[in-house]
Structure 1
Amino acid sequence: MTAVSYVITVFNKEEYLPEVIRSLEAQVEIDTREYIFVDDGSSDNSVQVIKDCTQDLNAKIIIIEQENLGASWGTNAGVEAASHEWIKLCDGDDLLTPHSSIWLIEACEKLNVNHAWGHSAYFEWQGREDPLTRPAPKPDMEVMEDGLKFFIRNNPANSTCMLFKKSYYQQIGGCDPRLVSPDQLLFLRLFAHGKGARVYGDVGLLPDAAPDRLSAQKGRSRYESVLAMYFTILDKPPLLTQDHIDYAYKRALSRAERFHRKVYGGLCNRFLWDHIRSKVWPHGDKITALKKCLAAFTPDGRIERSMDWKPGAGKRGKAPADF
């Protein structure tokens, strides 16, 4: 019998939730399921919409209402409340493809790993197409031999694309409440502690009109991507090697130079020279050099981010300090 706990983080998503819940109900080959909605202090009618849309469903429904502490904090709360070993995450404005859960579980079981992720695609919100009826040929699946390096290089997915065992999530420390989004650091943590599987098929569907996404806020998103690498290195997880640190250092310098050039124009910026130096005469302390790259993304050019860029847990003193 296949049982899954779905953890859905929500913040002012009343418009999207009926479709999100429809996609949860459309999951195939899942015998037992529970839906755990974590409302992160919404000011709209998200909670009432959840209640209205789930009242007649044949699934266990849990609604956690918290003050605005961030999606990372909310994800931890949702996983803690889960009854089942398999955990499937879903953002409050994303859809799961009908085979999302079973493909990811199959990959984990066949390849003997504790976590898996798949691809995502966009769909036109309120368009004519029903995105849940798209063709879904059986995808290839493989173990990623060095998933940590892959996600240091780039993160092409979000938390809607992942599935993991609850026990493994707890083992690796879950999400870091210092970060607004769980996406960047959670992928790094998952692969820094053990190999995972990749499913070469769409498991998540993202609306093409969600301007409040962190990914739509480029400076803040880039900042968190580098901060996630920095936190991961400081954690010293078991699969982290010096090669990973060297690669993270180079990726951080590349992101800093590219972002600073695109936003502020011109080639003469200190991140360009650091980027060039990394290729011919690398810094002795690469972790500190990586940390200094954070200044490329903040409006005031400081390494420290403003309070506005911190999640609610950071603003309320419930998360540790960044540095």
Structure 2
Amino acid sequence: MMSISVIVPCYNASDVIDTQLTALAKQEFTEPWEIIIVDNGSTDNTLEIIQKYQQQIPNMRVISATEKRGSAYARNLGVSIAQGKFIAFCDADDEVAPGWVTAMVKALSQNDFVCGQREYHKLNESWLVNSCRYADGNQGIIEDAYLPYAASCNLGVKRCVHEAVGGFDEEILVMSDVDYCWRIQKLGIQLNYAPDALIHFRYRATIQDLYKRYWNFGYHDIFLHQKHQKMGMPKLIKWNDFVKDAVILTIRFVVKVRNQETLAKWLMDFAFFAGHLQGCIKYRYLPI
């Protein structure tokens, strides 16, 4: 049996996957392990680039995941053919640091469910890093009013835990990792931080892409709250918060937006706010 299986979902990643594959090829780990690239129907030359690494990475397998759209489906499909007792997830557009596989195995030897550390400066321009939330601090576990969670770009889990929770919810196209983390913790399993499992995270490169990303976060956050309230989550979204945020956003736009960095930061917060509102309408969610 493999010690660990690394699952990498990808879709039209031809501009960035070279970096991740090179980093995975350089991992030094003495026990048997494997990489499973799960292509979610790429229409660019992502697969051609991956094929160039087949000889360099003999422990890599590539499978097609075209029956359903979404990284949740791709990750579940990858795990279904994985041979490792431990499972690690990373993304095609990031870069694992040296020693990442070793750190994941060490952490999972001691814990059932872990997340690593995210670093933002290597793959992003400085204005982008300064604009985005989570630019400093822990970078791994993200605290929430309900339960903590971590991003699926740097997540590790024992196979038995993944199977016990039923994998990722394939109906959730955005924030399936948050849902996954919450459901695992509801089984009584703690999310632990493994700081030595470091990845270099890549943000979306344009303000338009950042706006879309954070709008999606806000929009799908409503669906997530609605789902988990049926599982015991208290109602946390309030109308007075919407009013307060609207006032604060208006004042911030007038007083603080002065350059590309401050505009991007404001637009991301506005996008999340707008997505939240649209999500309430779409899912008929009534804040308290």
Length-normalised TM-score, structure 2: 0.71
Partner residue in 1 for 2:219? 223
1:173 Cα deviation after fit: 1.5
Q: Which moved more, 1:185-194 or 1:100-109?
A: 100-109
Residue 112 of structure 2 is aligned with which of 108, 111, 114? 114
**2:94 corresponds to 1:94:** yes
CA distance, structure 2, for counterparts of residue 60 and residue 298 of structure 1: 43
1:86 Cα deviation after fit: 0.9
Paired letter, 1:120 = R
Residue 168 of structure 2 is aligned with which of 160, 172, 175? 175
Partner residue in 2 for 1:286? none
CA distance, structure 2, for counterparts of residue 174 and residue 215 of structure 1: 29
CA distance, structure 1, for counterparts of residue 8 and residue 200 of structure 2: 14
Partner residue in 2 for 1:281? none
Taking a change above 3 Å as real, the CA distance of residues 123 and 208 of structure 1, as seen in their structure-2 partners, is farther
Taking a change above 3 Å as real, the CA distance of residues 31 and 300 of structure 1, as seen in their structure-2 partners, is closer
Q: Is the CA contact 2:28–2:99 (under 8 Å) kept in the aligned structure 1?
A: yes
1:202-217 alignment to 2 at 5 Å?
203-211=198-206, 217=213
Taking a change above 3 Å as real, the CA distance of residues 301 and 65 of structure 1, as seen in their structure-2 partners, is closer
CA distance, structure 2, for counterparts of residue 255 and residue 77 of structure 1: 39
Q: Is the CA contact 2:120–2:201 (under 8 Å) kept in the aligned structure 1?
A: yes
Cα deviations across residues 53-93 of structure 1 (Å, max 9, x unaligned)? Answer: 22332314132241551111111111111111111111110
SS in structure 2 at match of 1:34: strand
CA distance, structure 2, for counterparts of residue 169 and residue 206 of structure 1: 24
Cα deviations across residues 261-282 of structure 1 (Å, max 9, x unaligned)? Answer: 566x48xxxxxxxxxxxxxxxx
Taking a change above 3 Å as real, the CA distance of residues 32 and 202 of structure 1, as seen in their structure-2 partners, is closer
Cα deviations across residues 193-224 of structure 1 (Å, max 9, x unaligned)? Answer: 21232123452211244459788521211222
Taking a change above 3 Å as real, the CA distance of residues 28 and 192 of structure 1, as seen in their structure-2 partners, is farther
1:2 Cα deviation after fit: 6.6
Paired letter, 1:119 = Q
Partner residue in 1 for 2:255? none
Q: Is the CA contact 2:65–2:74 (under 8 Å) kept in the aligned structure 1?
A: no
CA distance, structure 2, for counterparts of residue 38 and residue 76 of structure 1: 10
**2:17 corresponds to 1:13:** no
Taking a change above 3 Å as real, the CA distance of residues 233 and 26 of structure 1, as seen in their structure-2 partners, is farther
1:1-323 alignment to 2 at 5 Å?
3-67=3-67, 69-110=69-110, 113-125=111-123, 150-152=143-145, 157-181=150-174, 182-193=176-187, 194-201=189-196, 203-211=198-206, 217-234=213-230, 236=231, 245-246=233-234, 249-250=235-236, 256=242, 260=246, 265=250, 297-299=276-278, 302-304=281-283
Unaligned segments of structure 1, at least 5 residues? 128-139, 141-146, 267-293, 306-323
CA distance, structure 1, for counterparts of residue 240 and residue 104 of structure 2: 33
Q: Which moved more, 1:150-159 or 1:185-194?
A: 150-159
Paired letter, 1:81 = I
Q: Is the CA contact 1:76–1:174 (under 8 Å) kept in the aligned structure 2?
A: yes
Q: Is the CA contact 1:38–1:63 (under 8 Å) kept in the aligned structure 2?
A: yes
Paired letter, 1:168 = V
Q: Is the CA contact 1:95–1:206 (under 8 Å) kept in the aligned structure 2?
A: yes
Unaligned segments of structure 2, at least 5 residues? 126-137, 252-272
CA distance, structure 1, for counterparts of residue 245 and residue 120 of structure 2: 25
Q: Is the CA contact 1:219–1:298 (under 8 Å) kept in the aligned structure 2?
A: no
CA distance, structure 2, for counterparts of residue 65 and residue 115 of structure 1: 25
CA distance, structure 2, for counterparts of residue 61 and residue 28 of structure 1: 18
SS in structure 2 at match of 1:199: strand
CA distance, structure 2, for counterparts of residue 158 and residue 213 of structure 1: 18
Q: Is the CA contact 2:97–2:198 (under 8 Å) kept in the aligned structure 1?
A: yes
Q: Is the CA contact 2:13–2:46 (under 8 Å) kept in the aligned structure 1?
A: yes
1:299 Cα deviation after fit: 4.3
Q: Is the CA contact 1:172–1:189 (under 8 Å) kept in the aligned structure 2?
A: yes
CA distance, structure 2, for counterparts of residue 213 and residue 32 of structure 1: 38
